[in-house]
Amino acid sequence: MKTISAFLFRYQPRISCRLLPVRLLIIPTSQTLYIGIAATEGASGTVDVGFASHDGTYSIDFAVQTLGGNGASAPASGIGTPGLSGAQTPTGIASGTHTPLPLEERPAVLADYFVDKIRNYQQEHRYKFVGAGLTRKVVQMSPQLPARLWWELDIVPLVFDKPLEDPLAQVSRHGIMFVDEEADSMARKCLMFAVVFPKA
């Protein structure tokens, strides 16, 4: 930790003034970010989820995971597979479990997963997410997620029906947006409402 020496004047009635050394402790603050979350149903009961973090100017990080599946723990390459990215960052966890996500357990499992991953990411990187852009599909898959983000992580959830459209962007070869692109779009769309919760 860094310290700064400063001097304070202390008034004494019989002596004019005397300088006393004081040490101030400087504690680094968390960086304020926005997060985008997207999810889509994959094959065989899997769920492809994407996270993207944005600082207001640049996209900082992203991760794509597949939850459920046939027990494969390595992420797919995503080439030719809708909803998967071709890149993987070290901030994600090993994806996949040994059974598909049952529909009746999916809302709680997804909410637990998102809250735990975001909490761990914030603590590890000393970030504070102030806003979360969620796709309508994520909220349909896990209706309790927005309330848990607000209650447990103090993140303002914003639910959007559709991502930002860029008229100059090329459409993917199947005419759909990949889950990582959709998460990044949610983070950028969340920034449009940054005046509601300005940076500290």
Task: Identify the pLDDT of residue 128.
Answer: 92
Q: How many residues does the chain have?
A: 200
Task: Identify the pLDDT of residue 115.
Answer: 96
Task: Identify the pLDDT of residue 105.
Answer: 84
Task: Identify the pLDDT of residue 14.
Answer: 56
Task: Identify the pLDDT of residue 158.
Answer: 94
More reliable by pLDDT, 118 or 9: 118
Q: What domains can you pick out in the chain, each with its CATH number?
A: 30-191 (3.30.420)
Band (pLDDT 50/70/90 cuts) for residue 104 is: confident
Task: Identify the pLDDT of residue 143.
Answer: 95
Global pTM reads 0.66
More reliable by pLDDT, 123 or 28: 123
Task: Identify the pLDDT of residue 45.
Answer: 79
The 10s digit of each residue's pLDDT in 25-78 is 555 566 789 999 999 988 777 899 999 999 988 899 999 999 886 543 334 333
The 10s digit of each residue's pLDDT in 126-183 is 889 999 999 999 999 999 999 999 999 999 999 998 766 654 455 555 567 789 999 9
Q: Does the pLDDT at position 92 exceed 70?
A: no
